[in-house]
A = this chain, B = another copy of it.
Amino acid sequence: MMATIKQISELSGVSRGTVDRVLNGRGHVSPEKERLVRSIAEQVGYTPNRAGKALAARKKSYSICVLLASEGNPFFSEVIRGVREAERELHDYGVKVVLRTLKGYDVSAQVSAMEELGKDASALILNPINDPAVAEKINALSDRGVQVYTVNTDIGDCRRLCYVGSDYFEGGRIACGMLGLLTGGVANVGILTGSVHILGHKQRIDGFLDVMYSKYPRFRFLSIMETEDDDMIGFESTRKMLTDFPEIDTIFLAAAGVYGACRAVQSFLPGRKLHIVSFDHIPQTGELMQAGLIHATICQQPFAQGYEAVKLAFNSLMSGAPPQEQQYIVKNEIRILENL
């Protein structure tokens, strides 16, 4: 049976209150008693009991705020499901979860939403725009005692406690590995990314090229274009790419705009069998795979991203200590038609 504060107090002959003060570093304890209690706690291997903690913490009622850009992106509906599931589980512990979504990627909108939510939040979870103003606001909130976590995308040069999301570089490596297997190692490759300026997208390209250059000498990289994460632009970019490089037989879809790109392939190269690998699972992914356009897609566990981010924040609030790791990396999952 686990050691408790009560047992420690009995063993050391001091009151429970004093043991609590020592173990939680609240001060106002004489050095001798402090040493005594610490040594006894050490001996019996004391670990705080989560159920007791939770019960006592109910009076305080933490609030965890989640700020997600953007609305209308189907990827995030799964993230939100994860947030909700974590909320459900944490309900017992008196934790309030506040979700706020934003449309589009507007820096000032994000910053002001952060300010507003930060007013009364114990922790803030967001997918930050990679902009100095956002980093600055993160630091400001952190100084005010709000624990900040990033989810899905990270941001540098700031005091966020932990990033919860995928390893984009690895995702790109996997995409290339899959295309290597699908093509037998011989391919004329076109890449469609969201934006070369978005860090995650760039990292996927880097990962892809890393494997390509080291493992697939017979891959020829012909063209890269942007979709701006938009189906219409994706369609147009793909059309242009296929016109400029008709020999392309392999496409790496590193970001959103997947449906538009696939429609372009279907329209301008009907009957031609390209090899296509995409990212994430959008509503059209199933039919595109069924149609044999996309052969594999790589998912980044959106549900787990939302779920784990909230739980990480909660655990950190409960224990008083920040997370052990600076990153919580979710898996990149390879999906084909049979396990979509």
Interface residues of A (CB under 8 A from B): 1-2, 47, 49-52, 54-55, 58, 61, 91-94, 170, 173-174, 176-178, 181-182, 184, 211, 295-296, 331-339
Chain B residues near A334 (CB, 8 Å)?
333-336, 339
Q: A85 to chain B: closest CB distance in Å?
A: 14
Q: Report the nearest B residue to A333, measured CB to CB.
A: B333
The A interface is mostly helix, strand or loop, or mixed, namely helix
Q: Is the CB of A338 within 8 A of B51?
A: no
Q: Report the nearest B residue to A174, measured CB to CB.
A: B338
Q: Is the CB of B51 within 8 A of A177?
A: no
Chain B residues near A170 (CB, 8 Å)?
338-339
Q: Is the CB of A296 within 8 A of B181?
A: yes
Q: Report the nearest B residue to A332, measured CB to CB.
A: B339
Q: Is the CB of B61 within 8 A of A1?
A: yes
How many angstroms from the CA of A128 to the CA of B312 in the assembled complex? 36
Chain B residues near A177 (CB, 8 Å)?
336-339
5 extra A-B contacts, CB within 8 A, seeds A170-B339, A173-B339, A332-B339: A170-B338, A177-B337, A177-B338, A181-B182, A334-B334
Chain B residues near A178 (CB, 8 Å)?
336
How many angstroms from the CA of A339 to the CA of B181 in the assembled complex? 14
Q: Is the CB of B336 within 8 A of A92?
A: no
Chain B residues near A184 (CB, 8 Å)?
184
Q: Is the CB of B339 within 8 A of A92?
A: no
How many angstroms from the CA of A182 to the CA of B337 in the assembled complex? 14
Chain B residues near A181 (CB, 8 Å)?
181-182, 295-296, 336
How many angstroms from the CA of A333 to the CA of B334 in the assembled complex? 7
